[in-house]
Amino acid sequence: MFGSPARLANAYGTLAVESAALGADRHQLIGMLLAGVQTYIGQARQAVSQGNVGLRAEVSNKAIRIINEGLVCALDRKAGGSIAASLFEIYDYCQRRLLHAQLRGDDAAYAEVSRLIAEIQEGWRGIGQSARPAATARAA
């Protein structure tokens, strides 16, 4: 009647992400996208260790799509100046490395992209922390 437990769990997870996204501001959405890339890279690395080529391809493609359709599309390259241009170059590099990792089962390439995304995440969190006090002060 309800389907397999795995399908139900997947549907619940999707609903939770969609609900969080609906209530998120632009900054939080980018954070969610970065976290999603990290999640899929972790799954790809696990698939490499298990020799699961199909899963490796599936989750690598998801990570690449998040970067391309989410992070790259969110960049305002005109208003963002050199920072946006640098992020574009990093995202482009990450996509190419993920494709390489997917095709070759290269865990080191996955680890490299994970480190790059982690650095961006750290900076993004810092921006969010510094923006919150300013937003709170404006609201008061």
pLDDT tens digits along 16-43: 445 455 556 788 899 999 999 999 999 9
Question: pLDDT tens digits for 68-98?
Answer: 999 999 999 889 999 999 999 999 999 999 9
**pLDDT score recorded for residue 23:** 59
Run of H or E including 17: helix 5-22
| Best CATH choice for the domain 27-139 from the list 1.20.1640.10, 3.40.640.10, 3.30.70.2190, 1.20.120.340 | 1.20.120.340
Domain boundaries, the chain: 27-139
pLDDT given at position 2:
45
Closest alpha carbon to 44 in 88, 135, 106 = 106
* Crossing angle of helices 26-50 and 5-22, rounded to 10°: 150
